[in-house]
Amino acid sequence: MKLKKSRSLALIAICAAVLSGTAFLPFRGQGTPRQQGGDPHPPDRVVKLIFIHHSTGENWLNDGYGILGRTLRENNYFVSDTNYGWGPDGIGDRTDLPDWEEWFRSEGTETYMEALFNETEQHASYTRDLPDPGGENQIIMFKSCFPNSDLEGSPDDPPTADGWLSVGHAKYVYNEILKYFKQHPEKLFVVITAPPLSDRTNAANARAFNLWLMNDWLEENDYPYQNVAVFDFYNVLTGRDGHHTFENGRVIYQVASKDTLYYPSGDDHPSKKGSQKATDEFVPLLNYFYNRWQADNPAPLAPSGDESGSAPGTEGEGVSNRTSPGELFGLLDDFEGEPPAGSSGWEAYWDEGTPTEMSCAVEPGAGESGGGLRLDYQITPYSWGACDLSFDSPQDWSAASGLAFNIHTAQSGDVLHVDLYSEGPEGRESYLYKLALEGEVNGDWAAVAVPWNSFQRVEWEEDAGAAFNSPDRISGLSFGFGTEEDEIQGTLWIDDLGWTGVGESPGQTGGESEEIVDDTPGAESSGWDLPCTGALALPIGLVGFAVFQKRRSGAAG
């Protein structure tokens, strides 16, 4: 089977801290915990979880076997699951390692995920007496069955797009699906490694692949978020000395002394005893994964309470309760008609004492859907240009957790400056965020989510470098560029400018507001595929100052 590849939009976020998850080392025998601290307590509210599996997973879930479903229920998880025959195109039939590319990186992904995120049925026999809390499944667990431990190749094979059940192709598939997980920090994806075989022919390959998942997968991809976790089901089932759990305030990971199934049931399905051992070890670890993810991504999506898929407060405008690339919630400007309420629309400003050129205007049909804001710029050395939106009176956006927009460029390599302006006790304050225009932004649409506290006070104002914390009094924002020695020029487009977050929609003085049902990464998260840009000698905050001065001069004249 050869799967079709589709270009997914890259969700771009903050270039800040590197991934600080549990560090694991491959070792045999004595386990040395690598991660200190963490919270193994169950969620303080009911959290929706769905598990993609086949027969081994069904046994693991069942009350009369692995008791995973019941134990998850006791830890405040509302569990649903899929099995053979489930879903659009019967996608539930296909759970081999290479099939995950079809689930998460194919032309059918949007359809499959829409069904998966909203699935509430049981396909195994486990106690589920918690009330459905509403909204989408927040935790996505997925597992391949034991035949997937029969991997061909060699333990150290690098990722390759060719092949099927091989070490190299399995690595390739997991690298590919990680791109989808990056786009959805509002979901927690939990990889359950395939259980072991009794046959030792390719057991060393299976062990090597699972150690790669544990030790190298996220690190090799510079993965910045805590919304992806791995439970080494394989390791737990390869021996009494194989462990992966959370205990006494730390992650325990001890590699078993053998690489084959230690808990057989008459065939290669893990036994009741092995399945229950996996339950005992997994659930505290899942609680740790969940709490770590929530600390990075503070609040879950608010359930819509509306089966039509409209977010509460949008009055049937069709705002989905799911974040997907290019889909934003709570729009400030979709560039389809009138400018945002309380503003006179977008205006271009530039350093008129230089040959710099800057223009911005709404261009019909140029957006990802409908119109878009087009910026054309040619910025000469030690100069600047910006596209500015100012409000007649301060706006209260405090219900949101950040700014969001869709973007694509005709070129890459430049650094876009995004500024927020607020009315502080001592007057106007300027805050800057720098976005490197790299990777898939070039020629493709990407969704950007920037939490408020990723904007920093500009260098020449008081409290330089302080995080933005006053979204209740925003007076304007701008997109622009500043440069030192090199001239930069190009074109970019902005579409669907709005907010991310949970709660009541941001109020707009003199205009209607929309409910926000999206969520953003935590402030300490780092960006997807973006190098940290560092400080430039002429940050665009200076542009904001010049724009402000020019506006005042115009008003005086």
What does 284-321 look like in DSSP terms, one character per residue?
HHHHHHHHHHHHHS-SPPPP-S-TTSPPTTSTTS---S
Which of 248-262, 299-313, 459-473, 540-554 has the highest mean predicted lDDT (pLDDT)? 248-262
Task: Tell me the C-alpha distance between 473 and 422, whole Å.
Answer: 5
What does CATH list as the number for 45-234?
Answer: 3.40.50
Judge whether residue 527 has pLDDT over 60: no
User: Do 172 and 160 contact (CB within 8 A), yes or no?
Assistant: yes
Angle at 307 between CA 301 and CA 311, to 5 degrees: 45
Q: Could you tell me the pLDDT band of residue 506, with boundaries at 50, 70 and 90?
A: low
Question: Among 17-31, 34-48, 52-66, which is the least confidently predicted range?
Answer: 17-31
Predicted confidence at residue 213, as pLDDT, reads 98
Predicted confidence at residue 290, as pLDDT, reads 96
Task: Tell me the C-alpha distance between 176 and 101, whole Å.
Answer: 7
Q: Could you tell me the pLDDT band of residue 310, with boundaries at 50, 70 and 90?
A: very low
User: Do 490 and 410 contact (CB within 8 A), yes or no?
Assistant: yes
Predicted confidence at residue 470, as pLDDT, reads 87
Neighbours of 465 (CB within 10 A): 11
**Exposed e or buried b for every residue in 185-223, given b needs 16+ CB within 10 A?**
bbbbbbbbbbbbbeeeebbebbbbbbbbbbbebbeebeb
From-to residues of CATH 2.60.120.430 in the chain: 329-556
Predicted confidence at residue 448, as pLDDT, reads 86
Question: Among 33-47, 203-217, 263-277, which is the least confidently predicted range?
Answer: 33-47
**Exposed e or buried b for every residue in 16-30, given b needs 16+ CB within 10 A?**
beebebbebeeeeee
Q: Could you tell me the pLDDT band of residue 494, with boundaries at 50, 70 and 90?
A: very high
Predicted confidence at residue 439, as pLDDT, reads 60
How deeply is 473 buried, as exposed, middle or buried, from its count of CB atoms within 10 A (0-12, 13-18, 19+)? middle
Question: Among 1-10, 115-124, 145-154, 464-473, which is the least confidently predicted range?
Answer: 1-10
Between 262 and 411, where is the model more confident?
262
Judge whether residue 251 has pLDDT over 70: yes
Which of 303-312, 526-535, 546-555 has the highest mean predicted lDDT (pLDDT)? 546-555
Question: Which of 349, 348, 331, 327 lies closest to 340 in space, CA to CA?
Answer: 331
User: Do 333 and 339 contact (CB within 8 A), yes or no?
Assistant: yes
Chain centroid to CA 495: how far? 20
Residues 73-93 have pLDDT tens digits of: 999 999 999 999 999 999 999
Task: Tell me the C-alpha distance between 389 and 337, whole Å.
Answer: 15
Judge whether residue 71 has pLDDT over 80: yes
Q: Looking at the structure, give the CATH architecture of the domain made up of residues 329-556.
A: Sandwich (2.60)
**How large a percentage of the chain has pLDDT more than 70?**
76
Judge whether residue 311 has pLDDT over 60: no
Between 346 and 328, where is the model more confident?
346
From-to residues of CATH 3.40.50 in the chain: 45-234
Mean pLDDT taken over the chain: 79
Question: Among 94-98, 154-158, 297-301, 336-340, which is the least confidently predicted range?
Answer: 297-301
Q: Could you tell me the pLDDT band of residue 337, with boundaries at 50, 70 and 90?
A: confident
Q: Could you tell me the pLDDT band of residue 459, with boundaries at 50, 70 and 90?
A: confident
Judge whether residue 534 has pLDDT over 70: no
Predicted confidence at residue 273, as pLDDT, reads 97
- Distances from the Cα of 272 to the Cαs of 57, 65, 138, 189, 269, in angstroms? 12, 5, 28, 26, 9
Between 546 and 149, where is the model more confident?
149
Neighbours of 484 (CB within 10 A): 10
